[in-house]
């Protein structure tokens, strides 16, 4: 049961699967008179893994379009309310199991997860109980199953947000959970970046410069972007947290990046004049000067847009806008 709940199976479903397993084991023991018992069959957990949980969508409704099963789950075409034929020589089929009422979105972890994949529930439970090995296993498995971008958007980010909301509403409780979870995600992203750099020769393209604005400490989203870009073979220049304006502008002039991604988590760090200055910075030799594409990344920028500044709506779009296929940066020579 512990293994199932750690993997994100709802506790009630894990308990039911465990009861069925032990019931079959008990039935397999020889009877007191020495007569043979019924043949033991492996515990059938398909109902527990395939049953739509109220943690994901309300009872009686259709599952979200992106709630595809993971490798360990059977196809959602297996209906939990349909009796299955009993195996030959086994016990009769059980009665149909009706969906249960909605139980909220906490999934036994104490975190307001909302509609997330099963792996997100398992990751949340592992983080809350401070099980670092299980946290790392869940993160690694999610990326291996869905790929970096999908895992970031459907498993890692929802779990991080849930932990952050819990921290804000619990008088600094759960801060240790957020720090543990963030560290393991960061370690995984950096490991993936290093592995991609060693496996793939960088394409012939200008580097992508990643920087948090002055006063901004949240680097994790940029680490995800850097790891995703490295998978495409793009060279990445990660400047990290709270980059001073002078250092940022100097780095742009020195390295001539094709794209500059500026992260702002809150309005207080969304420096529009600095972003415009970066976008207006020309670099290169006389007669072949050019400018970088500038991505305004993060919720701190709000929904505003400005000429010459791109506003990606997520990691996938930020990667697409950074690829050479997105088009070359503007080229001109204002000093000609």
DSSP classification of residue 230: H
Least confident of 31-35, 68-72, 84-88, 325-329: 68-72
pLDDT confidence of residue 169 = 67
77 within domain boundaries: no
Rounded Cα–Cα distance for residues 301 and 296 (Å): 7
Q: Indicate whether 210 and 316 sit together in one domain.
A: yes
Q: Indicate whether 321 and 210 sit together in one domain.
A: yes
CA atoms within 13 A on the CB side of 75: 2
Domain span holding position 157: 113-199
Burial class (CB in 10 A: 0-12, 13-18, 19+), 170: exposed
Given a contact cutoff of 8 angstroms between Cβ atoms, the answer to whether 295 and 327 are in contact is no
At which of 170, 199, 228 does a domain end? 199
Q: Which H or E run contains 144?
A: helix 132-146
48 within domain boundaries: no
Q: Indicate whether 300 and 261 sit together in one domain.
A: yes
Q: What is the pLDDT of residues 59-105, one digit of tens each?
A: 333 333 443 333 333 333 323 333 344 444 444 444 443 333 333 44
Rounded Cα–Cα distance for residues 54 and 103 (Å): 6
255 within domain boundaries: yes
Given a contact cutoff of 8 angstroms between Cβ atoms, the answer to whether 211 and 263 are in contact is yes
Q: Indicate whether 135 and 228 sit together in one domain.
A: no
- What percent of the chain clears pLDDT 70, i.e. is strictly above it? 60
Q: Indicate whether 207 and 312 sit together in one domain.
A: yes
Q: Any alpha helices (H) in 200-265, and if so which ranges?
A: 220-231, 245-255
Query: Number of structural domains, the chain?
Result: 2
Q: Indicate whether 142 and 223 sit together in one domain.
A: no
Task: With CA atoms as reference, report the closest residue to 182 among 194, 170, 173, 174.
Answer: 174
pTM of the complete model: 0.67
Mind giving me the DSSP string for 114-171? -S--HHHHHHHHHHHTT-HHHHHHHHHHHHHHH-HHHHIIIIIHHHHHHHHHHHHHTT
Q: Indicate whether 216 and 281 sit together in one domain.
A: yes
Given a contact cutoff of 8 angstroms between Cβ atoms, the answer to whether 220 and 186 are in contact is yes
Instruction: Report the phi/psi class of residue 231: left, alpha or beta, with left for phi > 0 and alpha for psi in -120 to 50.
Output: alpha
Rounded Cα–Cα distance for residues 250 and 153 (Å): 33
At which of 154, 170, 199 does a domain end? 199
Q: What is the pLDDT of residues 250-279, one digit of tens each?
A: 999 999 999 999 999 999 999 999 999 999
Q: Indicate whether 304 and 217 sit together in one domain.
A: yes
Handedness of CA 159, 161, 163, 169 (dihedral sign): negative
Q: Indicate whether 219 and 164 sit together in one domain.
A: no
Q: Indicate whether 214 and 317 sit together in one domain.
A: yes
Q: Indicate whether 220 and 321 sit together in one domain.
A: yes
Find all residues with CB under 8 Å of 79, minimum gap 6, and list them: none
Q: What is the pLDDT of residues 120-170, one digit of tens each?
A: 889 999 999 999 999 999 999 999 999 999 999 999 999 998 888 876 666
Rounded Cα–Cα distance for residues 138 and 123 (Å): 6
């Amino acid at each position: 049961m512990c293994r199932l709940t750690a993997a994100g199976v709802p506790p009630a479903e894990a308990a039911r699967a465990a009861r069925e397993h032990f019931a079959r084991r008990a039935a397999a023991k020889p009877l007191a008179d020495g007569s043979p018992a019924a043949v033991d069959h492996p515990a059938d957990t398909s109902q527990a893994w395939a049953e739509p949980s109220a943690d994901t969508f309300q009872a009686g409704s259709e599952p979200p379009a992106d709630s595809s099963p993971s490798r360990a789950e059977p196809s959602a075409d297996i209906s939990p309310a349909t009796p299955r034929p009993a195996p030959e020589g086994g016990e009769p089929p059980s009665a149909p199991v009706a969906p249960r009422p909605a139980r909220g979105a906490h999934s036994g972890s104490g975190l307001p997860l909302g509609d997330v994949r099963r792996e997100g529930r398992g990751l949340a439970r592992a983080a809350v109980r401070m099980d670092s090995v299980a946290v790392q296993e869940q993160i690694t498995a999610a990326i291996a199953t869905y790929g970096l971008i999908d895992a970031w958007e459907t498993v890692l980010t929802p779990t991080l947000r849930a932990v952050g909301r819990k921290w804000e509403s619990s008088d600094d409780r759960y801060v240790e959970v957020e720090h543990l979870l963030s560290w393991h995600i960061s370690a995984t992203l950096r490991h993936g970046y290093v592995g991609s750099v060693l496996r793939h020769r960088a394409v012939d393209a200008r580097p992508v410069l990643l920087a948090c604005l002055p006063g901004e400490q949240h680097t994790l989203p940029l680490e995800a972007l850097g790891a995703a870009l490295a998978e495409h073979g793009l060279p990445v220049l990660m400047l990290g947290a709270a980059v001073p304006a002078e250092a940022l502008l100097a780095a742009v002039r020195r390295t001539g990046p094709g794209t500059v991604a500026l992260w702002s988590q809150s309005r207080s760090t969304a420096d529009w004049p600095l972003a415009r200055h970066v976008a207006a910075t020309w670099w290169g030799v006389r007669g072949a000067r050019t400018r970088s594409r500038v991505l305004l990344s993060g919720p701190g920028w709000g929904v505003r847009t400005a000429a010459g500044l791109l506003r990606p709506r997520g990691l996938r779009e930020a990667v697409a806008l950074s690829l050479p296929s997105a088009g070359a940066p503007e080229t001109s020579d204002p000093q000609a």
